[in-house]
Structure 1
Amino acid sequence: MLENLYNKYNLQNVINASGKMTILGVSKVPNSSVEAQKFGDQHFFVMKDLIKNTSQHIAELLGAPAALVVNSASAGIAQAVAGVIGRGSQYHAYHSFSKKITKREIIIPKGHNVDYGTPEEVMITLGGGQVIEAGYANMCSPEHIEMQITENTAAILYVKSHHAVQKSMLSIKEALKVAHDNSLPLILDAAAEEDLLKYVKLGVDIVIFSGAKAISGPAAGLIFGNKEYINWINLQSQGIGRAMKIGKENILGFTNALEEYLKSGSENGQHMLQRLKPFVGELNKVPFITAQVIQDSAGRDIYRADVTINNNSPYTAQEVITQLKKGDVAVYTREYRSNEGIIEFDIRAVTKEDMDIIVTKLNQIFSKKEGN
């Protein structure tokens, strides 16, 4: 049985209470998408036609001028940067780092140059861009962006993510206005966001989504927006994009997952709250912890269990996190606030049975005596 692959490769079974995270394989792919992937695996296609026609189909679904499927959101950032630098030049596709091409500056708010698994600046640089930070770690206004624009600016890049600084930051709409007032494109890294359609309505030039996060598809990235810019990015398949190409099976699997997502959406916040209520009640019965429900820090319609490790606890939050990962079933949590003594449990991929296991493991951890 396939379940034995855990044993074959000596892998732990994982309860993913961390969220849609790359380190855990991101999402569970719907059965219909697995079937679409299987069809892709077992048939041949003229790849340029498959890419062109599925991309056109996706653009129609979104009401966007154009779309393109790539192999990840990270690849999307690098290829988008290369695209706006190359501006449709075949010379650039073949000689992407040529010194003849000088318009390479990509302006990004300083508080958006975050590490999401790799720093944003790595992907910008991989695409041939020169990172220009605007503003400060705790603020960035439209004026801060404006003052960094030069004759060598190729684009403005904005990151919509819980990783990014939230307070005192200009909005997407404000960044878009600065870009358009200066005849520049706005690249939006919205990898883990939930609502694709609002960015179409805003008229963002280049929008990048992860195919495997909110959409719950196989490994893929989606780029959509202005047709000319998307065509420039598509040309990068003959340049740096060759090293980032996506397979036929994932194109078909992702396209199916997107169709299902647009029909049904992801679990909404109200349903999460209903599932969280009994879970938080059980967590509050565990010694040394206090649990409550909190909303996602970036304002998404996502709710989580927020667990504070009390001051009289025999273990720190980081020690609890480490112990949760031990055993036949490893529990992975959101660790961003462990230095504050807080552990977050994201339940989007967690079942009632998983919640029971989490509560049991926590009780076992805190029932141990120090030194045993």
Structure 2
Amino acid sequence: MSELLASLGLEPVVNAVGPATRLGSSTPGPHVLAAMAEAAGAFVRMHELQAAAGAEIAAICGAEAGYVTNGAAGGLMLAAAACIAGDDPALMDRLPDASGARDEIVIHRGQRIAYDHALRAAGARLVEIGFHDLTFPRELDAAIGERTAAVAYLSNSGANAIPLEQVVAIAHRRGVPVILDASLAVPPVANLRRFAALGVDLVAVSGGKWIGGPAASGFLYGRADLIRSVALQHQDQDVRMETWHGAPLVAEGIVPGPPHQGIGRALKVGKEEIAGLLAALRAWVARDHDADRARWTADCETVVAALDGIDGVRAEVLPADGRERGWPVAEIALDERALGRTAYDVVRELAAGTPSIALDEALAWRGLLRVTPTQLQAGEAEVVATSLAASLRQREAAAAIDTEDRKDWTA
């Protein structure tokens, strides 16, 4: 990769943000790359490959069915399309035009984020409930009506939302499925089976983040009938009724025939991504996750220790909570006035340095920086710590130089 980057005039980045898509997500291991290379050397019927991969995903997650997608956002779009269209190929052909159909997806106002565009792209109209600080169960119940296709729920939203367990109970009582965006909820690995056990109907997971699969990979798992709709709207439907592999669906009266190319056709997943995702998932569920957390915690402690004693800086390790956020972070609070520089100044400076370092700037508007250690390579925690300390000591260094200058002037 270094040769390729050099030929393009680029340099690798030290990733202290975590598995962010804008930084390339992850660095898949040799077992993932080998699986992708093997898949690249053969032809296969893609519906059969998806069915086999989906069965393994379902077994790992304790669900009825699974399906490989091109990422968590693509999974959300397919999930919304499945909940809207069901087994209706004519409606599949029309999406994102969902006029006259059940096209409403209920969502907490406090869980609205830019990524819910994936739901709207399928033709859904979002119906908001509650506020960021408080939502009552009665509001969810009241929002569900004849046009409701699903309820969407976002893990790690930070909002004071109705607990997921209660959301599932209310939605199911009203005959409505629940879509869960779990892109940031794995790790911990236990969440995979926990969400299935709660009865979540479709769970969207990223394969290219902590699982370590190809960047353009993810998966859905949940109800078999909804996964069936996902497949019909995602796979290549350049087929003929006489030879269509889905003929049993027609014979059983589930569908009158195949749809044309569905809305998911633009979210293509190659055989290489399917093979790589499976290899990554198999290895990831078998990993020593305690050892991962211990290594990540040590890297956070390295960063925090390097910033100890710097005026205007308070750094601490926020441990993994074992439920929603399965990884620790080093959080650095800046007294921007005392330092004479903002958190954004620090982000820009480290990004422009050698090596270029990317910091988590999600809370920089509050004067907070974070180092997420999960993508750091060996030795990079020390590089980040040293660069951060040098940047944040600039006011001290400038004051020391000024003092020496004044001594020289008065001598």
Fold match, TM over 0.5? yes
Residue 246 (structure 2) aligns with: none
What is residue 274 of structure 1 aligned with on the other side? 298
**Superposition deviation, residue 217 in structure 1:** 0.7
Equivalent position of 1:79 in the other structure:
78
Helix, strand or coil for the counterpart of 2:210? coil
Q: SS in structure 1 opposite 2:205?
A: strand
Q: Provide the C-alpha distance between the structure 1 equivalents of 2:212 and 2:181, rounded to a whole number of angstroms.
A: 17
User: 8 Å contact 1:287–1:363 — kept in the other structure?
Assistant: no
Residues 295-310 of structure 1: pairs in structure 2 closer than 5 A:
295=319, 299-310=324-335
2:226 is the counterpart of 1:229: yes
1:294 aligns with 2:318: yes
1:323-342 equivalences in 2 (<5 Å): 323-342=349-368
What's 1:319 paired with?
345
2:159 maps to which residue?
Answer: 166
Q: Which amino acid aligns with 1:292?
A: E
Aligned counterparts of 2:44 and 2:50: Cα–Cα separation in 1: 10
Is the contact made by 1:268 and 1:301 (CA closer than 8 Å) also made in structure 2? no
Q: How many angstroms does 1:280 deviate by?
A: 1.7
Offset from partner CA, 1:135-158 (integer Å, 9 cap, x none): 113222221111111111111010
Distance 2:56 2:355 in 1: 41
Q: Matched residue pairs, number?
A: 364
Q: Which residue of 1 aligns with 2:146?
A: 151
Distance 1:143 1:295, change over 3 A: farther
Letter of the 1:293 partner, please give it.
V
Over the matched positions of the two proteins, sequence identity in percent amounts to: 26
Aligned partners of 2:345 and 2:98: how far apart in 1?
A: 51
**Equivalent position of 2:54 in the other structure:** 55
Match of 2:266 among 237, 243, 246: 243
CA displacement 1:254-313 (0-9 Å, x = unmatched): 011000111116454344333433332122255653321113688423211111223421
In the alignment, the residues of structure 1 paired with residue 357 and residue 310 of structure 2 have an alpha-carbon distance, to the nearest angstrom, of 16
Whole-Å Cα distance in 1 between the matches of residues 98 and 128 of structure 2?
22
Choose 102-111 or 331-340, whichever is displaced more.
Answer: 331-340
CA distance in 2 between counterparts of 1:102 and 1:64 reads: 28
Structure 1 residues 142-183: Cα deviation after superposition (integer angstroms, max 9, x where no partner): 21111111111111010112xx2333x101101101110100
Name the larger-Rg structure: 2
Confirm whether residue 65 of structure 1 aligns to residue 64 of structure 2: yes
Shift in Å, 1:86: 0.6
1:252 CA drift (Å): 0.2
Mapping 1:1-372, distance limit 5 Å? 2-98=1-97, 101-115=100-114, 119-120=115-116, 122-161=117-156, 164-167=157-160, 169-194=161-186, 195-218=191-214, 219-237=216-234, 238-264=261-287, 266=289, 268-284=292-308, 288-295=312-319, 299-310=324-335, 311-365=337-391, 366-367=393-394, 369=398
- CA 1:315–1:241: 2 relative to 1, 3 Å: same
Q: 1:14-69 CA deviation, whole Å, 9 max, x = no partner?
A: 11111111111111212101110111222211111111111112212222110000
Q: Does the CA contact (< 8 Å) of 2:184 and 2:325 recur in 1? A: no
For the 8 Å contact 1:79–1:241, the answer to whether it is kept is: yes
Q: C-alpha separation between the residues in 2 aligned to 1:44 and 1:64?
A: 28
Q: Residue 101 of structure 2 aligns to a residue in which SS?
A: coil
Give a deviation string over 1:286-344, Cα, whole Å, max 9, x none: 56533211136884232111112234213211101110100332111111221222111
Q: In 1, distance between residues paired with 2:359 and 2:227?
A: 37
CA distance in 1, matches of 2:135, 2:101: 26
> Would the alpha carbon gap of residues 320 and 183 (structure 1) be closer, same or farther in structure 2, given more than 3 Å must change?
same
Structure 2: 5+ residue stretches without partners: 235-260, 400-411
Alpha-carbon contact 1:324-1:330 (below 8 Å) kept: yes
**1: distance between equivalents of 2:103 and 2:197?**
28
Q: CA deviation at 1:97?
A: 4.0
Instruction: Calculate the aligned-residue CA RMSD, in Å.
Output: 2.2
Give 3-state SS (helix, strand or coil) of 2:152's partner.
Answer: strand
**Is contact 2:25–2:209 with CA below 8 Å preserved after alignment?**
yes
**What residue is the counterpart of 2:406 in the other structure?**
none
Secondary structure of the 2:15 match is: strand
Structure 1: segments with no counterpart, 5+ residues: none
Counterpart AA for 1:142: P
Partners of 2:159 and 2:283 in 1: CA distance? 31
Name the structure where helix makes up a greater proportion of residues. Answer: 2
TM-score of the two chains, using structure 1 as the length reference = 0.91
